[in-house]
Amino acid sequence: MPLITFENIMTNTINKTHFQFPNQTSAYKGKVREVYNINNELLVMIASDRLSAFDVILPRQIPFKGQILNQIATKMMKETEDLVPNWLIANPDENVAIGHLCKPFKVEMVIRGYLSGHAAREYNSGKRIICGVSMPEGMRENDQFPKPIITPSTKADNGEHDEDISREDIICKGIVSKQDYLVLEEYTRKLFQRGTEIAAKRGLILVDTKYEFGKTNDGKIVLIDEIHTPDSSRYFYADGYDERQAKGEKQKQLSKEFVRQWLIENGFQGKEGQQIPEMSDEKVLEISERYIELFEQITGDPFLKATTNDVIDRIERNILGFLVKQKLKK
């Protein structure tokens, strides 16, 4: 295997892909993932190394971030597939997941067990209702809710900001039918409970997370995209949580919040006219190392870095190999 050097790591991250696979019918670029439609049957999802915060794609990629997100998400899907069906079929490459074509619901199902992040910012501004859900008086940031609350958001396209929305508005506006939305809520609560149990075994608290769902061609509602990754979830270390909370101290976190805090400290929150702070090589590597720490804490597995030499060729070769095998099976 080629040596993993500083220069190699910094110059061989995955930013954009421009593949043309056999029977490819379309391609879509999200904030972090690139999605290829194969014959209106399969989706090939490639996790890039792009970094997004405040709904803005930052100018530099983070080494191994795509591999980390992809491998956490697929591991968690396998650990929850007995509860909720998901779209996943195979992982032919460290950065790739392939699954059933689905029509995504245009909402993200956000569930919160604790008053943190966006909910805490809303609460501290004086609001006591978020997405039509009441939050109790007298809470402090990072306090646990009496029971988890679901605070959906609209699924933004083309880099626009996601917007909070209530269950009533989702159903009233016909974004999701009432029948389907009740299934989304049921699945969301089941997944969050399982995620909480998995996190507890690893000395962590699953604070909040988001899930995305879609419908397969035969009308089945399934979990899609990512699950319980540091980009979609916030974790606290369980050890010392009560003591820190009693003293009014910040909680020790495992999430992408450290990126958001760095941006805020440097005057950027994604608002018009604000300048994205410069990210040095040292800052990029620091973020990469934090993501590796997140991977190992969340999964309990050591992180094995994929080769970054000719990474685009590697991904294309592995995807094509899978597609050929699928064709031979038919």
Give the residue with greater pLDDT, 158 vs 37: 37
Task: Read off the pLDDT of each residue in 285-309 and give the average, rounded to a whole number.
Answer: 91
Task: Read off the pLDDT of each residue in 299-318 and give the average, rounded to a whole number.
Answer: 92
CA-to-CA separations, 189 to 163, 184, 292, in angstroms, rounded: 21, 9, 28
What is the CB neighbour count within 10 angstroms for residue 301?
11
pTM of the shown model: 0.87
- Cβ distance 87 to 99 under 8 Å? yes
The two tokens of residue 325 are: 């095998």
What is the C-alpha separation between 308 and 311, in angstroms, rounded?
A: 5
| pLDDT score recorded for residue 307 | 84
pLDDT at 218 over 50: yes
Task: Read off the pLDDT of each residue in 154-163 and give the average, rounded to a whole number.
Answer: 67
What is the CB neighbour count within 10 angstroms for residue 123?
20
What is the CB neighbour count within 10 angstroms for residue 149?
18
pLDDT at 282 over 70: yes
| pLDDT score recorded for residue 250 | 92
| pLDDT score recorded for residue 162 | 76
pLDDT at 193 over 70: yes
Sign of the Cα pseudo-torsion (99, 104, 105, 108, in order): positive
Task: Give residue-wise pLDDT tens across range 226-275.
Answer: 999 988 999 999 999 999 999 999 998 887 878 988 999 999 998 888 99
Task: Read off the pLDDT of each residue in 319-329 and give the average, rounded to a whole number.
Answer: 87
| pLDDT score recorded for residue 5 | 54
| pLDDT score recorded for residue 11 | 66
The two tokens of residue 144 are: 């646990």
**Among residues 252, 147, 238, which one has the least CA distance to residue 193?**
147
The two tokens of residue 267 are: 């005057």
- Cβ distance 62 to 173 under 8 Å? no
pLDDT at 102 over 70: yes
**Lowest-confidence segment of 94-108, 131-145, 224-238 by average pLDDT:** 224-238
The two tokens of residue 103 are: 């029509």
Sign of the Cα pseudo-torsion (252, 269, 191, 217, in order): negative
Q: Where are the domains of the chain?
A: 6-103+282-329, 108-255
Mean pLDDT (the chain, rounded): 92
**Among residues 258, 287, 253, 295, which one has the least CA distance to residue 76?**
295
Q: Model confidence at 161, in pLDDT bands (50, 70, 90)? A: low
Characterize the bridge pairing of strands 233-237 and 204-216. antiparallel
108-255: CATH topology is D-amino Acid Aminotransferase; Chain A, domain 1 (3.30.470)
SS3 sequence of the chain: CCCCCHHHHHHCCCCCCCCCCCCEEEEEECCCEEEEEECCCEEEEEECCCCEECCEECCCCCCCHHHHHHHHHHHHHHHHCCCCCECEEEEEECCEEEEECEEECCEEEEEEEECCHHHHHHHHCCCCEECCEECCCCCCCCCEEEEEEECCEECCCCCCCCCECCHHHHHHCCCCCHHHHHHHHHHHHHHHHHHHHHHHHCCEEEEEEEEEEEEECCCCEEEECCCCCCCCEEEEECCCHHHHHHHCCCCCEEECHHHHHHHHHCCCCCCCCCCCCCCCHHHHHHHHHHHHHHHHHHHCCCCCCCCCCCHHHHHHHHHHHHHHHHHHHC
Task: Give residue-wise pLDDT tens across range 40-51.
Answer: 999 999 999 999
- Cβ distance 28 to 35 under 8 Å? yes
| pLDDT score recorded for residue 255 | 77
What is the CB neighbour count within 10 angstroms for residue 134?
9
Q: Model confidence at 1, in pLDDT bands (50, 70, 90)? A: very low
Task: Read off the pLDDT of each residue in 168-182 and give the average, rounded to a whole number.
Answer: 97
CATH 3.40.50.1000 assigned to 6-103+282-329: no
Task: Give residue-wise pLDDT tens across range 106-129.
Answer: 999 999 999 998 999 999 999 999
Express as a percent the part of the chain with pLDDT over 70.
94
